[in-house]
Amino acid sequence: MYLTIHGKNFSTIHFAGILGAGMSAIAQYLAWAGVAVTGSDRLGSAAEMKETGEKLEACGCRLFPQDGSGITAATDALVVSTAIEEDNPDIAAARKYGIPRFHRSDVLAAIAATRRTLAVCGTSGKSTVTALIFEILQACGKNPSVLSGANLVSLNEEGLLGNAFRGASDILVMEADESDGTLVKYRPETALFLNLSKDHQPVDRTLDLFKDLAGRTPWVIKNGDDPGLQSLPALHRFGVLPDAECRPEAVRAILANGLGAVIAHERDRTFASQTLELNPIGAREAQRIGDHHLIRRGARVQAAQRGIRGER
């Protein structure tokens, strides 16, 4: 198995900084896909990273000290993140063997290009919404993949690291990080924009990145209530304001057997997601929750609809 990056195929890939959240997610996904994955990390001997390393090895990744020893003439490509400095021993070893180097975002973009990808964007809440869209699609039998910046409890409970899963379908839900400007590399089928505020980049710069991504994405969904996103073009809007296409309500009830349903209104009709298995906490009426949670619920229901319906 190989991954195609910029028109070339790579079957043996080394990750410098493999224990990081973003790098480990991609490494697991590629290992499950049959790519030979190796990696190193400066924190490889740290006690708090021991479990991460063990779970990566369990899914087929081979780990090395970050001294260049993990890179050989058989290595096809080196992947780095923004955190990796130029004097890193793995970079020196790659130069020695003439091995091409790619940023993490290049690899993520290459993976996304092979899937029906839903990219979750925003300056806050991305990991939560990414996880819940994935859970909805899983519950509906769509068997999606996910690449997230945080660990999902449901995947942890299956013995996985939790920030990645490779499903059998062609649907991929991924967290798209705007912090380093790499959004310009992605071409998803669907882009979901949650919010905009000053974070790693100035607001104007982040908005430009969002507009760039929206301009080459066929299906764009945005938070119609967020003031910062008003000038962002979108096919659909979610939120609590009256002019939003998707207006979420609170979860109405949790049944005695631990099942529930998300109810949402879309203009002149009402739809419900497939009934989802929730924590078995017994029969009770759910309390109404804050507007920011309602907005996020609307985001994930409307985004998950795309995968549930199989729309293109």
| Residue 176 to residues 8, 27, 243, 283, Cα–Cα distance (Å) | 24, 16, 27, 37
Strand partners, 63: 39
Strand partners, 272: 263
The answer on pLDDT for 4 being more than 50 is yes
State the DSSP H helix or E strand holding residue 26, giving kind and residue range, or none if neither: helix 21-33
Average pLDDT, the chain: 82
Please give the sequence-ordered ranges of beta strands (E in DSSP) within 86-233, or none if there are none: 101-103, 116-121, 145-147, 164-165, 171-175, 190-193, 219-223
Residue 97 CB partners (closer than 8 Å, separation 6+): 71, 72, 73, 75
pLDDT value at residue 288: 35
Sign of CA dihedral 110, 111, 116, 117: negative
Whether the predicted model's global pTM rises above the 0.85 cut: no
3-state SS of 35-87 is CEEEEECCCCCCHHHHHHHHHHHHCCCEEECCCCCCCCCCCCEEEECCCCCCC
pLDDT tens digits for range 157-169: 999 999 999 999 9
What is the DSSP track for 257-279?
TSEE--EEEETTEEEEPPPEE--
- The answer to whether 176 touches 119, Cβ cutoff 8 Å, is yes
More confident residue, 282 or 145: 145
pLDDT value at residue 244: 56
The pLDDT confidence band at residue 291, using thresholds 50, 70 and 90, is: very low
Give the three-state DSSP class for 120. Answer: strand
- The answer to whether 45 touches 11, Cβ cutoff 8 Å, is no
The answer on pLDDT for 282 being more than 90 is no
- The answer to whether 172 touches 144, Cβ cutoff 8 Å, is yes
The pLDDT confidence band at residue 181, using thresholds 50, 70 and 90, is: confident
The answer on pLDDT for 238 being more than 50 is yes
**Domains of the chain as residue ranges with CATH:** 3-108 (3.40.50.720), 115-309 (3.40.1190.10)
pLDDT value at residue 138: 87
